[in-house]
Amino acid sequence: MAGVAAGPELKIPREGRLAAHPLAALLGPLGLLGATGVLDVQKKKLVRRFVLREGRLLAAVSNARQDRLAEWLVEGGRLGAEAGERLAAALADAGESPLVGAWLLREGHVPAEGLPALLREHLVELLRETAAWGDATFRVTPGRLDLGAEPVADLPALEVALLLAREEADRMKRPRLPEGVRRVVEPEGLPLEDDERRLVEAAAEPVALDRLGEQLGTTEAGLARPLLALLRVGLLVPAAPPEEEAGFDLDREMTAEELDRWLAAARTRDVHGLLGIRPGAAPGAVRQAWYKAVRRFHPDRFRTGPFADRRSEVEEAFRVLHEVYEELTDPAAAAARKKQVLAQEVRQPSAQAVAARWRERARQAALEGQRADAVDCLEKALEAHPDDVDAARDLCLLLLGNPARRQDALRRLAELAAKYPARADILAARAVGLFRAGKEREAELLLDRVERLDPALPLLRALRGDPSARARVRENPFLAPVLPR
């Protein structure tokens, strides 16, 4: 397909099918480039010619009588009854010229002051109808068309293109969006809505969609409508976002907060938190980030120094780092390894599997109100697997409800919190115990630390008074009886 030269970003095809090149995508670049010429759209024998001059739509010329302004006025009842009857009678004697605006003025059928608005409305309606033609073809022809004394609509083509593009975007259910975008023109003086203007201004340089959402305080779904409209008319174009520095800063001194975040990411198998990269990073960036994470958090670095007492936590997280990297780069190998582990557990249940079964029995007993049985099941889980932190946490929560064993539970929670200082759930459980013991100031300070680790933790939100979080937490049979009122 031959194209009309329009710079590296804007290419206007000379001819083609409207299904492949929607009307908004043709009018937008024609407006941006200040084109002069005609855009012909044909559906079977019906042809509509849209006349442009310096990027502005002047008129629509059609070979169908019903498309003419006069007939449109009569059929749409846009004139008073008497004026409509006079015009209908006059049309019966009129010639077949497709341009009738001057005739309407000359014969006094339309007042001069109202004609420009009618011309614009008529032109937009024809364009809307034309945009819906699924089996139409089009042709773009540069050159000046002389309209003589015919009055014109004088509408910016880009303004109409945006109107059509917004309506298209509203109809799209599952739009496909590019990874990144950038603008091709400055936004000054363009007929943009507020969200469109913010998008155009923010995309002065190539920018990733998720970063754009963060910058504008919205989600990808919130970006979709204005973004689709701007892409359609050519104000924005798809662009590869700039490659970001992958992974962690190896030269910066490690802080407790950084280590806490990394260990928390390992516990939740948060791939991007473990690697220190954004979602959607390119494979090369993922690989580079993994190498940096390995160097940054290798257990050998924790043999001595301020975090030597957390080396066992780092070793466990380091294993998770390797597993999630394998899942990212070699899903087939990861699936085979998981299948092998499951088969091993079927042949000979591991201590973790035995403990998990006792935890499930404890949960069921707690749901049925059999708290003593639940305590017994959790103690059996810890006999099978002494390092089962979840079982130890849930046992402490159960014991908090027993005044005779509350001090024992508080002591155990303090030990767990010291051993796992980055486990937000453990710290929050200890805060529950402190509230039960009347140590509200100490509990609030602990919750501040929990909020730095995991601000979305349901128990934290519940203790801060969030009603929906409290409803969720009360579904936990270990927590519900001891949750502060």
**Highest mean pLDDT of the ranges 76-80, 206-210, 375-379:** 375-379
Give the pLDDT band (50/70/90) at residue 2.
very low
- Tell me the average pLDDT across 29-35: 90
Q: Which pLDDT belongs to residue 257? A: 84
Is 56's pLDDT higher than 90?
Answer: yes
Q: Which pLDDT belongs to residue 6? A: 42
Q: H or E segment at 167?
A: helix 157-171
Q: State the pairing for strand pair 155-156/236-238.
A: unpaired
Q: What is the average pLDDT value for the chain, to the nearest integer?
A: 82
Tens of pLDDT, residue by residue over 147-196, are 877 788 889 999 999 999 999 988 887 777 887 888 888 777 788 888 89
Is 88's pLDDT higher than 70?
Answer: no
Give the pLDDT band (50/70/90) at residue 333.
low
Give the pLDDT band (50/70/90) at residue 84.
low
Of the two residues 309 and 218, the one the predictor is more confident about is 309
Query: What are the angstrom distances between the C-alpha of 115 and each of 71, 147, 298, 417?
Result: 15, 16, 77, 78
232 vs 41: CA distance, rounded Å: 18
Query: What are the angstrom distances between the C-alpha of 265 and each of 113, 252, 321?
Result: 68, 20, 10
Give the pLDDT band (50/70/90) at residue 7.
very low
Q: Which pLDDT belongs to residue 90? A: 65
Q: Which pLDDT belongs to residue 48? A: 93
Q: Which pLDDT belongs to residue 18? A: 92
Of the two residues 187 and 303, the one the predictor is more confident about is 303
Give the pLDDT band (50/70/90) at residue 345.
very low
Of the two residues 114 and 197, the one the predictor is more confident about is 197
199 vs 171: CA distance, rounded Å: 21
DSSP 8-state class, residue 185 = S
Tens of pLDDT, residue by residue over 447-477, are 888 888 778 788 888 888 888 888 888 888 8
> CA nearest 439: which of 397, 406, 467?
406
Give the pLDDT band (50/70/90) at residue 419.
confident
Q: Which amino acid makes up residue 474? A: R
**CB of 12 within 8 A of CB of 29?**
yes
234 vs 228: CA distance, rounded Å: 10
Is 308's pLDDT higher than 60?
Answer: yes
Q: Which pLDDT belongs to residue 452? A: 82
- Tell me the average pLDDT across 53-64: 89
Is 110's pLDDT higher than 60?
Answer: yes
- Tell me the average pLDDT across 296-311: 88
- Tell me the average pLDDT across 323-340: 69
Residue carrying the six token digits 């009347």: 438
Q: State what percent of residues in the chain have pLDDT above 70.
A: 83
Q: State what percent of residues in the chain have pLDDT above 90.
A: 20
Q: Which pLDDT belongs to residue 337? A: 58
Q: Can you name the residues that pair with 237 across neighbouring β-strands?
A: 182
Q: Which pLDDT belongs to residue 249? A: 77
485 vs 481: CA distance, rounded Å: 10
Tens of pLDDT, residue by residue over 214-256, are 777 777 777 888 999 999 998 998 887 666 556 677 878 888 8
Q: Which pLDDT belongs to residue 204? A: 86
Is 61's pLDDT higher than 50?
Answer: yes
Is 132's pLDDT higher than 50?
Answer: yes
96 vs 483: CA distance, rounded Å: 84
Q: Which pLDDT belongs to residue 94? A: 58
Query: Among the listed ranges 134-143, 211-220, 405-414, 429-438, which one has the minimum average pLDDT value?
Result: 211-220
